[in-house]
Amino acid sequence: MDSRKEALLSQIIKEHIKSANPVGSKLLESKCRLGVSSATIRNEMAELEKDGYITHPHTSAGRLPTEKGYRYFLDHLIKFSELGKKEQESLQAYLNGLKGRELDSMIKQAAKYIAEVSKNTVVVGFSDRDVYYTGIANLFSQPEFNRPDCVYDLSLLVDHLDKVMSEIFESIQVIEVRIGTRNPFGNQCSVVLAPWRIKSQKGILGILGPMRMDYERNLGLVKFFSQNI
């Protein structure tokens, strides 16, 4: 993919993450300063759609990223960003306030905080059979999951979180993202996973949400947690 298409795909994904709406050429021309005309943007979007990186719902002229588009974004365009200084300080202060607690309590409280600030679900594996999750309401509140069939699928997902975590527990050695059909938690979702270790105890933490999630920020959150817990 050439650099102009990469820039366009990146902007489509970032705008869609923020709005949850299809992204049109006029919005891209006015907000993203790509330096090309609306007609050129439309032509490039048509090429990206032909190649399977974006699609469009029949009710809108705007485009949505596909699973393939998100994967390209993650593999080639995303920056493994650090949290901003203020957010790092806020999270560090919260973690500092948990010192002295029992391990399970400390990790669970940190997970609740991450679920709150990420507005996603957080899943923690303490061992391959001991799983904790929080922020499920955040997942059900996402517009992607407001259809009855999606709610049913997500309900099944929640019922099997412990089984899935057990299956992947030993395989998570570094921070990674599993998306869509490659995500064991459900093909409508993405999960950002990170290992953690405190003395002899180890586990994994995952931020689970729709494919339309803020990957850069969530990667920053799990990285900070993994390094500072």
Q: 196 to each of 50, 85, 125, 172, how far by Cα in Å?
A: 41, 22, 10, 10
Write down all domains in the chain, each with its CATH number in brackets: 3-77 (1.10.10.10), 85-228 (3.30.450.40)
Interval 157-202: pLDDT, tens: 788 888 999 999 999 999 999 998 999 988 888 999 999 998 889 9
What pLDDT, on a 0 to 100 scale, did the predictor assign at position 79?
Answer: 75
Residue positions counted in the chain: 229
Q: Report the distance separating Cα 122 and Cα 111, nearest Å.
A: 6
Tokens of 127: 């061992």
Q: Is the model's pLDDT at 215 over the cut of 80?
A: yes
CB 143 within 8 A of CB 20: yes
Q: Report the distance separating Cα 119 and Cα 105, nearest Å.
A: 21
Closest CA to 192 of 84, 78, 22, 69: 78
Q: Residue 43: what residue type?
A: N
Burial 62-84 (b: 16+ CB within 10 A, else e): bbbbbbebbbbbbeeebeeeebe
Q: Is the model's pLDDT at 61 over the cut of 80?
A: no
Interval 69-103: pLDDT, tens: 999 999 999 876 788 899 999 999 999 999 888 99
What pLDDT, on a 0 to 100 scale, did the predictor assign at position 56?
Answer: 87
Predicted confidence band at 59 (pLDDT cuts at 50, 70, 90)?
A: low
Strand partners, 176: 193
What pLDDT, on a 0 to 100 scale, did the predictor assign at position 4?
Answer: 87
pTM of the full structure: 0.92
CB 209 within 8 A of CB 133: no
Tokens of 36: 């090309």
Interval 12-58: pLDDT, tens: 999 999 999 999 888 888 776 777 777 888 899 999 999 999 998 87
What pLDDT, on a 0 to 100 scale, did the predictor assign at position 169?
Answer: 93
Predicted confidence band at 60 (pLDDT cuts at 50, 70, 90)?
A: low
- Say which residue, 187 or 65, is predicted with more confidence: 65
What pLDDT, on a 0 to 100 scale, did the predictor assign at position 28?
Answer: 85
What pLDDT, on a 0 to 100 scale, did the predictor assign at position 23?
Answer: 92
What pLDDT, on a 0 to 100 scale, did the predictor assign at position 89?
Answer: 94
